Amino acid sequence: MTTAATLAKLGRRVLVLEQHVIPGGFTQTFKRPGHHWDVGVHIVGEMTERSFAGRLLADLTDGRLAWESVGPVYDEFNFPDGFTIQFPDSPEAFRETLIEFFPHQRQGIDEYLSLVRRASRASGQNFQMRALPRYLASGRRQRAADAAHPHVSATTQSVLESLVDDPQLRSVLAAQWGYYGVPPSRSSFAMHALMVRHFLHGAYYPVGSAASMAPALLQTVADASGWTAVRRTVERIDVKRRRVAGVTLDDGTTIESRQVFSAAGAIPTASMLGDDAPDAWSDAYREPGPAHLSLYLGFSGVDVASNGAKRYCQWYYESWDTETIGWDIAPDRELGSAPVLFCSFPSIKDPQHDPGPDQRHTGEAITFVPWEPFSAWKDSRWQRRGPEYDEFKARLTDALLGQYRDSYPGLAPHVQHAELSTPVSTHHFTYAPHGSIYGLSTEPERFGDDTLLPATSISGLYLSGADVSTPGIAGALMGGLVAAVAASPFAGGRYVRAVMAR
């Protein structure tokens, strides 16, 4: 959507094809009587005019999208034995909080924060350079890649171990891995640093919920005489003599176009190309990141805010181990506890939410799981996956509700609706490979992959979205922008400079 809106801003007519019944990908929302939930937006950093991402989105939506701060705290981490730490919305307060909890680690904390600044700056510049065609970037792209390399190739764990002695502080600093989905021993430190920087000035929620995002962006496309067509599944990206020719839909319709931008993700794009996929892609490291379970809760008849619900996100770790990311589950085994539960309350973040006389509110609880226990049902029909799947889902729901009750004893009796999404639900609604929560895994190999550029080696074909940038709304926004700029470097460059100058 951000590629389409950027191209529209450059005067181009764009056709947006979406396989689902509503556009928006992970910004879509869904309703059940009396309640509605976001599926992939809890908090987003940088959504103010002081940051480029905030200014860009404001421009791409012509000011139609408003953001509300979630307050002076955006994340809270709960570890065993009552240890609770909150991450505040300024770099100074963040440093002070860390030093207050770990006074003996002052030097390590300062070195860590300084490295986060250097690594995020170098990695951000590297992403910008990757958008430019080689003939324009000349030596700059290589210099940016060289400057980012030490941060890209290091793991988060190796950096934390080199700077911080206290294992509990290491866990606290790594505890946000859920925002990019890969544990410290495997994630690229560049990814970690970009995420830390993303939230340094706090976090925001879209007014009117994530449902406001797609209409705000797609109106810009429509204003430039473009279209959005839903229930249009692209089956094949057509290529003739190493040049993109258009797409073929699953009903056999062919649409000719000299430029195609794929925001479906790098792995699905390779499938849509089939034998036409560049040879280099098959050697590249392209693993889907982890999958997740999301428990959607509807409350009624309770003042949620007085019973533990917060506008900030709350994470509950079962132990100090931030390395065990996935809940080890199988349909035929006893379920233990999910190692971490991420909880959020969309309705109290949204100033437009009207709880009505029944005090209707919503909550979400998320944990990470592997794809394999669900893969057997990948080709089954939504809502008709059979009794074994239903039973597995019911057991998972009960287990998660049990954990939820421990954290929110005052809310649990007021759960009026509980509904679980699994990795096969995620796959069904977004076509995410292996139901992956964030697309490609964020390991060092991904960020050093020179085949993962917005301009592909097939002329006229561009990769867009989070996979050519980083996971998250801001990552997808930047991935969308770099794809449009890669296709129109001069006009795109002028547009970027104009937004920066605001």
Ligand X SMILES: Cc1cc2nc3c(=O)[nH]c(=O)nc-3n(C[C@H](O)[C@H](O)[C@H](O)COP(=O)(O)OP(=O)(O)OC[C@H]3O[C@@H](n4cnc5c(N)ncnc54)[C@H](O)[C@@H]3O)c2cc1C
Contact residues for 417 (Cβ-Cβ < 8 A; gap 6+): 32, 34, 35, 296, 297, 298
Query: Is residue 20 involved in binding ligand X (CB under 6 A)?
Result: yes
Query: Strand pairing partners for 500?
Result: none
Q: Looking at 292, 310, 414, 427, which residue binds ligand X (CB under 6 A)?
A: 292
Query: Is residue 345 involved in binding ligand X (CB under 6 A)?
Result: no
Query: Is residue 466 involved in binding ligand X (CB under 6 A)?
Result: yes
Query: Is residue 19 involved in binding ligand X (CB under 6 A)?
Result: yes
The rounded distance, in Å, linking the Cα atoms of 175 and 173 is: 6
Query: Is residue 481 involved in binding ligand X (CB under 6 A)?
Result: no
Query: Is residue 430 involved in binding ligand X (CB under 6 A)?
Result: yes
Residue span binding ligand X (CB under 6 A) among the ranges 71-79, 93-101, 400-408, 474-482: 474-482
Looking at the Cβ atoms of 29 and 294, the one nearer to ligand X is: 294
**Closest residue (Cβ) to ligand X?**
25
Query: Is residue 248 involved in binding ligand X (CB under 6 A)?
Result: no
Question: Which string of x and - marks every residue 361-400 that binds ligand X (by CB under 6 A)?
Answer: -----x----------------------------------
Query: Is residue 26 involved in binding ligand X (CB under 6 A)?
Result: yes
Q: How far is the CB of 297 from ligand X (least distance, A)?
A: 14
Residue 418, SS3?
strand
Q: How far is the CB of 279 from ligand X (least distance, A)?
A: 22
Query: Is residue 443 involved in binding ligand X (CB under 6 A)?
Result: no
Environment class of residue 437 by beta-carbon count within 10 Å: exposed (0-12), middle (13-18) or buried (19+)?
buried
Contact residues for 119 (Cβ-Cβ < 8 A; gap 6+): 148, 151, 189, 190, 193, 194
Residue 464's nearest CA partner among 450, 478, 447, 448 is 478
The rounded distance, in Å, linking the Cα atoms of 6 and 20 is: 22
Q: Are 8 and 487 in contact (CB under 8 A)?
A: no
Q: Which of residues 253-282 bind ligand X (CB under 6 A)?
A: 263-264, 268
Q: How far is the CB of 471 from ligand X (least distance, A)?
A: 4
Residue labelled with tokens 């190309």: 273
Query: Is residue 288 involved in binding ligand X (CB under 6 A)?
Result: no
189-198 and 134-153 helices cross at what angle (nearest 10)? 100
Contact residues for 282 (Cβ-Cβ < 8 A; gap 6+): none
Q: Looking at 4, 6, 40, 393, which residue binds ligand X (CB under 6 A)?
A: 40
Q: Looking at 473, 482, 484, 486, which residue binds ligand X (CB under 6 A)?
A: 473
Q: Looking at 437, 453, 461, 463, which residue binds ligand X (CB under 6 A)?
A: 437
Residue 198's nearest CA partner among 48, 40, 90, 45 is 45
The rounded distance, in Å, linking the Cα atoms of 151 and 207 is: 35
Looking at the Cβ atoms of 292 and 385, the one nearer to ligand X is: 292
Q: How far is the CB of 186 from ligand X (least distance, A)?
A: 18
User: Where along the sequence are the contacts to ligand X (CB under 6 A)?
Assistant: 17-20, 25-27, 40-44, 233-234, 263-264, 268, 292, 294, 366, 430-432, 437-438, 465-466, 471-476, 479
